[in-house]
Amino acid sequence: MSKLTSLMTPACVIDAAKFQHNIRRMQAVAARDNLVLRPHVKTLKSLAAAEFYAPASGPITVSTLAEAESFASAGYTDILYAVGLVPNKFGRVAALSARANRFTVVLDSMAAVNALIAYATQLEHPLQVMLEVDVDDHRAGLLPVSDELVACAKAIVSTPQLHFRGVMTHAGGSYDCFTQQARDAIAEQECQLIAKAAARLAEHQIECELVSAGSTPTALANTRHKGINELRAGVYATFDCVMAGLGVCTVNDIALSVLTSVIGHQKDKNWVIVDAGWMALSRDQGTASHAKNCGYGLVCNSDGEILDGWYVSSTNQEHGIISHIDGKQPDDALFGYGTMLRILPIHACATAAQFEAYQVVDTEGNVKDVWSRISGW
């Protein structure tokens, strides 16, 4: 077992204790509301990480077919591919349905349904299908009480090679909710409208095995999740500065960080220069509209303790520039040449995507494991 400070930088680090605490928090919500938890594995895309929060005995959500294929090879059978399906993926989807009997795709228009029906005669195994419902006018989905929703479901049900599983939604608008009251309201709206979609289909004798909803902010809202039977969320396992900025967690809950080294200074500008640029941190500036703009990430010492006011103010490909929000001069005791720091990500999904593996550390700063990551689409 090596020390964190022996690693070459930049490196992606997961704090094992925080990671496991975050997992237990979401599991407690699902247990309280008697819901099946379908974790979204898109943030870490790691089979080793998933053993802790999304074991093979349960359902998962993925955002790429590469994830689906890797998890299916590892024995997962109930996999929801939660991105609208297009014809150029039909072949890979057919192969997945043969390997994982509850591999499920999502559609949200009659055009998409008709295209899949036209292909369905080529399926050797029945393909599971869900319809996506729009509950907040934020992204994709059919309106919950629309005629098109009913027409899509009827067409799927009447196709022998397809099996209709139900309806799902993602309240992406929750990422714009900066108060507890707002998050609670959109969580209730999410559940009410997806339940209304299921009820609309029931009126036409179309039953929904799954009524699935979730995003990390709505899943962790102060509300009972009534009208659904499945809860989905993903970034909760690590959290990030976006979630902290919304008030869903604190910065001390963020379990993922980028280990970096001080490589120089621009003393006349009060800049600290590190070896983690946008290739390590990503170019995500998702907190730009928040009350606290965290730039490209918040700065911690190598033990993961926040250095108040210090943040990554700008990035180049391999260089990050650390500044203080009040323009303070860097203290050499904190930012001396060669000093290792940790940067908390703005959006964990984007930052994690820059690395092939994660260094898992304990509270003593020991690297206890290395988790590989699935890449590509």
Quick: pLDDT tens for 260-272. 999 999 999 999 9
Quick: pLDDT tens for 350-370. 999 999 999 999 999 999 999
Quick: pLDDT tens for 248-259. 999 999 999 999
> What pLDDT does 144 receive?
96
Place of tokens 């680090």: 13
Please give the structure tokens belonging to residue 149: 């929703």
List the chain domain ranges.
2-11+255-372, 33-237
CATH top class, domain 33-237? alpha beta
Alpha helix ranges (H) inside the chain:
16-32, 47-53, 65-73, 90-99, 110-119, 147-157, 180-202, 216-219, 241-246, 278-281, 332-335, 348-352
Neighbours of 306 (CB within 10 A): 16
Query: Amino acid letter at 370?
Result: V
On whether the CB atoms of residues 201 and 150 are closer than 8 A, the answer is yes
> What pLDDT does 242 receive?
98
Topology at the third CATH level for domain 2-11+255-372? Lyase, Ornithine Decarboxylase; Chain A, domain 1 (2.40.37)
Q: Residue 176 contacts by C-beta under 8 Å, 6 or more apart in sequence? A: none
Q: Which of 129, 120, 78, 130 is nearest to 99 (CA)?
A: 78
Residue 73: band (very low, low, confident or very high) from pLDDT cuts 50, 70, 90: very high
Q: In what order do the strands lie in the sheet with 230-233?
A: 36-39, 230-233, 210-213, 162-168, 127-132, 104-107, 79-84, 60-62
Quick: pLDDT tens for 84-122. 999 999 999 999 999 999 999 999 999 999 999 999 999
Average pLDDT over residues 187-208: 98
> What pLDDT does 219 receive?
98
Q: Is the predicted pLDDT of residue 235 greater than 90, yes or no?
A: yes
Q: Which of 221, 212, 193 is nearest to 32 (CA)?
A: 221
